[in-house]
Structure 1
């Protein structure tokens, strides 16, 4: 599930932006986020970037698929492009071709760069930029599927029936060339105006079909909007949510489709690493119901949460806030590696991702996520009918622990960055009064009750304290902003 990205406007000499920058530097040090690359890892990356795109990597030649008119669809300004897509009609069904950056063509197993990627695990995004998994000479250069550039890739070809269910899958190493780098807004505008080409119309149609299949399985996807800090005309700042466009969900469904078929390949082969998620905790569902009440969202008692999520529109501010808080339903996500004698392939419910309601594996973002490189190699071997490479087989048992460790570090940074930005935005408003709804409360202690408050404007959840009995769960309370500490990334409200 996505984290909580935050964007902050302002130049480097802006006092607010400078305050955030200083806080983020301190936060990176606090969570021990690797920033600088070792010299030997950088040297390996530079050398790999200079190799020809068709340099041999595995036995046999890399297929030339530069004739496939792929495009990338990403946020504006993205340069670390993992995926390029092409969708076309095939009889009554569809053919999806999905090119994924072939990071294994650039990273030597056991080398200095390989070791550094295991230390990092993930790209970490923040209001002032990103700390990438791979050096930018690769992640934003030679390995990125930039337009009009021949690139080594792993090309998935997935044939679907008329309902969007997979019929056949093929995976191969290939040379590809993206025809265009499109933004979500460009694609959505073209679809809305009726000027989109067959590829983009196909992307939308397949995305809708896969949405329907997900709902039929009882699955739930979250279109979590990006939180923005917006500067008003009077020089103050406010927290808002950027609306999530429908095409973002449809594009995500292509990635989910690929992850689902990848997991099936791994399970059939008896080796690989799948994404895991336990069912949502009842207490989290109950707390989320209180959040719905806080935001005025109608949630009938007999309506399962996946059906509610499917009804929400992230372009509405209250829905956006709710979707962000709904990420707490998906806590406990992890990975399960299998293939060794003491780690058999999971089966039945043990193999299912509780939110997707199907087995699922990460293979579509290798520039930004370490585990994808290994899952991809397992799928290539499975389709080719050959053994999993030794360097992959040997690394599989340790991957879940590596991804858990690095994921916790990035999650801690994400949470701290959001807390920091909220503190900066609210700092000028200490002493002001707000109205919010109590979404969590502890047992009384020392004559006080401590809990969490959901505000409508700005849309934040923050700690609140009150006299015993003064924090009724789901109730609306008037509060005063009592304290803001930017240095400690802390915001505190007092009820009454």
Structure 2
């Protein structure tokens, strides 16, 4: 693996994408004044709720804290969301800067935060044992997991403990659950069942991640999606659906939308499943099929990659007065709004302010309504930038990790094939890259078998260009 001396940081990517290095002094001064003044607005004292956070290890920008209980025949979710409206004066230097940035960008050697860290990792973050301002959602679900009521209000909260996904998963595997999450497994499973019944498309693709290798460089890891990840996500989705319902009822807000996949895309996916040897009865829809696949199987991994074609065209839809042309997110098979990650995503602050006003039976603030038309464009641009930066970082580390292994052979799974070229996944190290079907002697098939396992040779690992390329080789070449 590459040492830090050979290319340890991602400065080239930061320069290429012109990522901001620091906040302007006027922004930092305004943030410091906001922290010194304390949170704005009247708030209920909810510090008695034993909330906990569940985030990746080491995270400091903690957007959410939860308490999930069962009371009689219903589930009760208390979900506290960091309240940036308590610290960001509308129209000020800080407000203008975060509207320019759009969202936090995550790079392996450090983030480019949406807000100054005095807020995102300090006064606004739901850190343990600290009293913090929050938008506190109370969500009630019936015994079968259906949402029956939702309400949000401004509150003061205090998280009791910072947990991470691995810790919670170990608890569950060991037969215990943190008291504040006692009902999360039951509710999470019910919500997953509802998602499949609605037709939500869930792709159980593992996350390709970058982490320090302990020797001054970087390594690639693969983190499978666990049940705990899914349950945690279901609480966030439940909140976003409740928020969307409020906005649509009031005729004002901003939604996360996705158009339905064209019939041709589903037919194409059926052909792909057939070619992969995956049985797909006509009576089974896409959501049910995907939910029943084993993500550790190569053919399932390939079909999940193919199914990403069904999820193209996501956008933000703002509306005020007129009914939006598109109000649903086809991937979730539901109406949905982003309101649960305001430390990291600009649009969530505005969605939260809309819901707070509606629940308090107050007018939506004028500064929120004035900003709504601009939000879709701002978020589309920042989403695109975030995607390019993430892909560039992964490409960079793939090239670093493989730089000394050109000429070596690996086993690979064909994820997506197009004639004599393909996108392949090499499990060790976990790399996704292009592969050509080079066959100078003419004894290999013309195409690469999607979902199949093939032997490939690394022919390029260019750290400067951030390019990795493989070619298919005869399996006999590594058995002889």
- TM bucket, shorter chain: 0.7 to 0.9
3-state SS in 1 of match to 2:202: coil
- Within 1, Cα distance between the matches of 2:423 and 2:457? 14
* In structure 1, distance between residues paired with 2:393 and 2:19: 13
| C-alpha distance in 2 between matches for 1:460 and 1:297 | 24
Matched, 1:460 2:431: yes
- Greater mean deviation of Cα atoms: 302-311 or 314-323: 314-323
Instruction: Output one character per residue of 1:327-370: Cα deviation in whole Å (capped at 9) or x when no partner.
Output: 55423211000005xxx2236xx311011100000000000000
Which of 8, 12, 16 is equivalent to 1:30? Answer: 16
Once residues 156 and 233 of structure 1 are traced to their aligned partners in structure 2, the CA distance between those partners, rounded to angstroms, is: 41
Q: How many residues align?
A: 466
Which sections of structure 1, spanning at least 5 residues, go unmatched?
1-13, 444-448
Provide the secondary structure at the position in 2 that maps to 1:337. Answer: strand
In 2, Cα distance between equivalents of 1:292 and 1:229: 31
- Residue aligning to 1:488: 465
Structure 1 residues 177, 232: CA separation in 2 closer, same or farther (over 3 Å shift)? closer
Alignment partners' CA distance in 2, 1:131 and 1:291 = 39
- Given the two structures, how large is their TM-score scaled by the length of structure 2? 0.87
Does residue 370 of structure 1 match 2:307? no
Give yes or no for contact 1:132–1:368 (8 Å, CA) kept in 2.
yes
1:85 aligns with 66
| Partner residue of 2:280 out of 282, 296, 300 | 300
For 2:370 and 2:435, locate their aligned partners in 1 and report how far apart those are by CA, in whole Å: 49
- Between the aligned partners of 2:55 and 2:413, the Cα distance in structure 1 is 36
Is 1:16 matched with 2:16? no
**Pair 1:52 & 2:34 matched:** no
Determine if the alignment matches structure 1 residue 332 to structure 2 residue 319: no
Q: In the TM superposition, what are the counterparts of 1:345-360 in structure 2 within 5 Å? A: 345-346=323-324, 350-360=326-336
Other-structure match for 1:403: 379
Any stretches of 5+ residues in structure 2 without a counterpart? Answer: 440-444, 474-480
SS in structure 2 of the partner of residue 129 of structure 1: coil
By how many angstroms is 1:319 displaced?
6.1
Change (3 A) 1:425 1:275: same
Which deviations, in whole Å up to 9, do the C-alpha atoms of 1:143-180 show, x marking residues without a partner? 00011111110000111111111111111001111111
Deviation at 1:308, TM superposition (A): 3.5
The answer as to whether partners of 1:241 and 1:317 remain within 8 angstroms in 2 is no
Per-residue CA distance 1:180-224 (angstroms, 9 max, x = gap)? 111222222222323324432211111111111111111123454
| Cα RMSD for the two superposed structures | 3.1
How many Å separate the matches in 2 of 1:18 and 1:308?
Answer: 48
Gap change, CA 1:285 and 1:313, over 3 Å in 2: same
8 Å Cα contact 2:340/2:348 also seen in 1: yes
Q: Pairwise mapping of residues 314-325 of structure 1 onto structure 2 (< 5 A)?
A: none
Residue 124 of structure 1 and its aligned partner are, at CA, apart by 1.0
1:432 aligns with 2:419: no
Conserved in 1, the CA contact under 8 Å of 2:67 and 2:77?
yes
Within a 5 Å distance, the mapping from 1:233-312 to structure 2 comes to 239-280=220-261, 298=278, 300=280, 302=282, 303-312=284-293
**Cα distance in 1, alignment partners of residues 271 and 391 from structure 2:** 21
Give the drift of 1:84. Answer: 0.6
User: Residue 134 of structure 1 corresponds to which residue in structure 2?
Assistant: 115
For residues 81-105 of structure 1, the C-alpha deviation after alignment (integer angstroms, 9 at most, x for no partner) is 0001111222211111100000011
TM-score normalised by structure 1 residue count: 0.85
On the 8 A contact 2:108/2:210 being kept in 1, the answer is no
Question: Hey, what's the Cα distance between the residues in 2 that align with 1:283 and 1:391?
Answer: 43
